[in-house]
Structures are given as C-alpha cells and as structure tokens.
Amino acid sequence: MRPPCEVVVKEVLPAIRAMLVKELIERHHLSQVEVAHKLGITQPAVSQYLRMLRGAGRGGTLLKNIKKHVQELADDIARGKLKHKQIIERYCMICHSMGQREIICLLHMRAAPYLKREGCKICLPRDRS
C-alpha cells in the first residue's frame, strides 16, 4: 500500500526542490553553496538536483502546473525576503494547491493503480469527496 503522503515525499517535494534549485542558479545566478544555505540542504544535494539525480520523478507534465509558484518562491528566496519557516510554509502552500487541483491524486493513482478500481477518493479535497 502506498498512501498519498508517500508520493508527496518521494516525488512531489524532490521535484519542487529540483525546480527551485534550478531557478535559483539559472535565473538568479546564485552559487550552489548559496542555494544550499538558503534552502537548508547540502551543496552535494544541490548538485544532485541540478544533475537530475534527485527530483526527476514521473510527474513532470503534472508538475509544470506549479512552475509559476516555484518561480515566485525562488524570486522571494533570492531577494532574501523569506526565513526558513516561511519557505516551508510556501512549500506547503504549493502542495496544498496541488491537492486542490487533484494533481496529487493523479500522481497517487499512477503510483497505486489498484486504488482506481476501488473508487479511491483519499486525495480529493474533503468537500468534494
């Protein structure tokens, strides 16, 4: 059994972080060390995200829907506007918006196709299930 939170931890969060790392380095011209410091991760982890050794999940097309949110987060991080707590809150807001738009549900169904046959509605917002 694979709960939706496992999909988020294994696919969604690493993909968001990979997108964020790429934005900070390519658009904001930060070094890997600067990005590591701002995100609270190691420089080798930043390197792995850049080389797509981490965060290269199967949800690429679905995750394009959050690109604008990630770009806005990268802009705020690069400007030094956010503390670590606020960055975490923004990650949660991005995941929440993915849940509202059923993106997490679609990724969960890909990871656990047997749930579709059972009529699973675990990932759907509570007011729609």
Residue 20 lies in a domain: yes
Q: What total of structural domains would you count in the chain?
A: 1
Which of 59-73, 85-99, 114-128 shows the highest mean pLDDT? Answer: 85-99
For residues 5 and 94, give the distance between their C-alpha atoms in angstroms, rounded to a whole number: 14
Has residue 127 been placed in a domain? no
In sequence order, which ranges of the chain are alpha helices (DSSP H)? 4-7, 13-26, 32-39, 43-50, 60-63, 67-78, 84-100, 103-111, 114-117
pLDDT given for residue 91 in this prediction: 92
Its domain, for residue 83, covers: 4-117
Please indicate, yes or no, if residue 68 is contained in any of the structural domains.
yes
Give the chain's radius of gyration (CA, Å). 15
What pLDDT score was predicted for residue 124?
63
The answer to whether residue 95 is domain-embedded is yes
For residue 73, is it within any domain? yes
- CA 129, distance to chain mean position in Å, is 24
Determine, yes or no, domain membership for 88.
Answer: yes
Q: What mean pLDDT comes out for the span 52-76?
A: 80
C-alpha 94/C-alpha 91 separation (Å) is 5
Instruction: Indicate whether 128 belongs to any domain.
Output: no
pTM equals 0.82
Query: Does 12 reside within a domain?
Result: yes
Would you place residue 128 in the very low, low, confident or very high pLDDT band (cuts 50, 70, 90)?
Answer: very low
- Count the residues in the chain: 129
